[in-house]
Amino acid sequence: MEENTPRITPLTTPDKPGIVLSGCWTAARLAEPATWPQIQSGLRAGTVAGGHWDLRDLERLDHTGAQVLWNAWGHQWPAALSIQDAQRTMLTRVAQYSGPPPAATRISAWQVFLFFGSRVWLLIDHLRGFIRLMGQLLLDGLKLLRQPNRGPWRDVSGHLFHIGATALPITALVGFLIGVVLAYLMSQQLRQFGADAFIVNILGISLIRELGPVLAAILIAGRSGSAITAQIGVMRVTEELDAMRVMGIEQGYRLVLPRAMAMALAMPLLTVWTTLAALAGGMLASDLTMGVTPAYFFAALPDAVQASNLTLAMGKSVVFGLLIALIGCHFGLRVKPNTESLGQGTTSSVVTSITIVILVDALFAVVFKDIGI
């Protein structure tokens, strides 16, 4: 054994039992695989046995070694201790900055009340900001009607391309797969009752009235809603929003209005596109699993689904688009000038948009339950 290896030597003399520590009690030495288990067992045995602790033979003692000893002593000085002045200074410093672990505190009912109260006030603050944003959008829309030649049409066309045209592949793919899955699962149940022909009714109502608009809205909320928040949030981080305010450029007219108009125009078109893709997937799966030909599918679909369902779906899509755009702009404008706030705002925007879309769709289902059924 090397001379500077940490060692623990017990003294069993009847007049003065104790423990003698020697070697280098440093981080490098204590971290050696062959040394640390022996040190742990020796310290446990010495703590149980008690007696006199002699540290005067230590060659070196750093903060790591002092922390190991302080933990072994249970965060208190032993009754009998022989130590040098430099070692006492080291242990005193460790004892000063490593007090006993904090005791577990019980959460009182008042703290729970304050926590929920803070959440409620945060929700009220968001609602106030969102209502203010809706009011500003209405005023900007009236300004656009009075002066249409000075409107941000180039921004609207650019956002319409990025929100609508670039989302066609992913919405078609997801819609097609959803249609295939729904048709396959429903065919397993309808076949048991000999009701194969009713798959057209089920697919038509479910996809045109509900799943088409909701699926397109959820995809756009995750894709374009997050992009809106990130774009405006980056403008906050790079101080472009402050520059617009200094130059007298209206943020609502140049940032919120074009995105809201583009989203309101793109969502109905994307809904029709997603619904057609889902119907194509359902028609293909119905033909393969149940023998329902595409010719019969096309012939039976107009009788199974009233045109009012499509009108309702288009109306919902416009509302979904406006809500997604406003939520994305709302969280983007509330981003603080740091990257952490930007990430949190983008996440909150997506989660809030999807939640609001589902809640509003449920509201539409209750209010318009007698239309198209």
Which amino acid, 347? T
Q: What is the pLDDT at residue 46? A: 67
H helices present in 50-79, as ranges: 63-72
Which residues in the chain show pLDDT less than 70? 1-3, 12-17, 46-50, 99-105, 372-373
Q: What is the pLDDT at residue 99? A: 61
> 119-130 b/e with 16+ CB inside 10 Å = b?
eeeeeeebeeeb
Q: What is the pLDDT at residue 100? A: 60
Please state, in angstroms and rounded to a whole number, the distance separating the CA atoms of residues 151 and 145.
Answer: 9
pLDDT in tens, 245-300: 888 888 889 999 999 999 999 999 999 999 999 999 999 998 888 888 888 888 88
83 sits in which H/E element: none
Q: What is the pLDDT at residue 1? A: 47
Helix axes 294-304, 257-290, angle to 10 degrees: 130
Residue 238, burial from CB neighbour count under 10 angstroms (0-12, 13-18, 19+)? exposed
pTM of the complete model: 0.71
Contacts of 316 (CB under 8 A, 6+ apart): 213, 360, 361, 364
Phi and psi dihedrals of 107, rounded to 5?
Answer: -80, 120
CATH number assigned to the domain with residue range 7-97, chosen from the 4 options 1.10.3470, 3.30.750, 3.40.630, 3.40.720: 3.30.750
Distances in Å between the Cα of 310 and the Cα atoms of 188, 210, 338, 366 are 27, 10, 44, 17
* In the chain, domain spans: 7-97, 119-367
Cβ pair 24, 60 in contact under 8 A: yes
Cβ pair 39, 6 in contact under 8 A: yes
Residue 237, burial from CB neighbour count under 10 angstroms (0-12, 13-18, 19+)? middle
Q: From edge to edge, which strands make up the β-sheet containing 52-61?
A: 7-11, 18-25, 52-61, 80-82
